[in-house]
Amino acid sequence: MIELENVAYSYGGEALLTDMSLSLPAGSFHFLTGPSGAGKTTFLKLCYGALRPTSGALRLFGEDLAAFDRDAVALARRRIGVVHQDCQFLDHLPVIENIALPLSVSGLAAQDQEDNLQELLNWVGLTGRANALPPELSGGERQRAALARALILSPDIILADEPTGNVDWEMSQRLLRLLVELNKMGKTVMIATHDLALIRAAKAQVQARVLRISDGSIQAAGADL
């Protein structure tokens, strides 16, 4: 699904990530850890084509990202659902329309996807909040809405950047169960997090590989997590 070979990324002449080689196979589940500022968000941006490597090769679905033009990147990103850390929404639109926005961007009519949209709202537990405005949502509801928006195009890969960072433990567990369920449906999942308790909880539910970014490089984390 996503392959990195000796990938590095520099910004303003400063190397942020170096010599990263990694493969995310179909149906795999990964956690990405590391201290704040280590480069987890930058790494995820590389994985969905928002950034391009300074050096090395990055392949999305078997194709070299270096050969992608703007349209090819947009098409590839339809197959990658991203749950951003800051959960940005259009505050003047109700939840259901915010979730449906990727359909409009992709040229698909939301009314043609009405059944899928309602099923997705039910799956994340937001049926009763479909017409609420984003400022009216709790932190957990915003995260579930962000997950629903990331899934509306039925992507093959889900990348989640600190999805449980601003919610309590009970809601963290609920979000984790949704992501584990997606993985069991065959989706490739990567969660960037600093929450080791969440990782331990996940390991009781799914076979997960834990990666750590440290000093600009990525490596398998210790077995004691």
Dist CA 201 CA 51 (whole Å): 31
Within 10 Å of residue 132's Cβ, how many Cβ atoms?
15
143: tokens are 């995260």
Pairing of strands 55-60, 2-11: antiparallel
Q: What is the pLDDT of residue 224?
A: 43
Q: What is the pLDDT of residue 222?
A: 59
| Span 60-109, pLDDT tens digits | 999 999 999 988 998 898 999 999 888 889 999 999 999 998 887 777 65
| Span 126-141, pLDDT tens digits | 999 999 999 999 988 9
101: tokens are 């926005």
Confidence at 223, pLDDT banded by 50, 70, 90: very low
| Span 147-195, pLDDT tens digits | 999 998 889 999 999 988 878 888 888 889 889 999 999 999 999 998 8
Quick one: angle between helices 169-184 and 139-151, nearest 10?
10
Q: Check: pTM over 0.75? Answer yes or no.
A: yes
Strands (E), the chain: 2-11, 14-24, 29-33, 55-60, 63-64, 80-83, 157-161, 188-192, 209-214, 217-220
Q: What is the pLDDT of residue 74?
A: 87
Q: What is the DSSP letter of 50?
A: S
Four-way CATH pick for 1-79+155-225: 3.40.50.300, 3.30.160.100, 3.30.450.20, 2.40.50.140: 3.40.50.300
Quick one: angle between helices 196-203 and 169-184, nearest 10?
40
Average pLDDT over residues 201-205: 88
Q: For 81, how many CA atoms within 13 A lie in the half-sphere containing its CB?
A: 27
Lowest mean pLDDT among 45-54, 111-120, 127-136: 111-120
| Span 16-38, pLDDT tens digits | 899 899 999 999 999 999 888 88
Residue 6: pLDDT over 50: yes
Domain boundaries, the chain: 1-79+155-225, 90-153
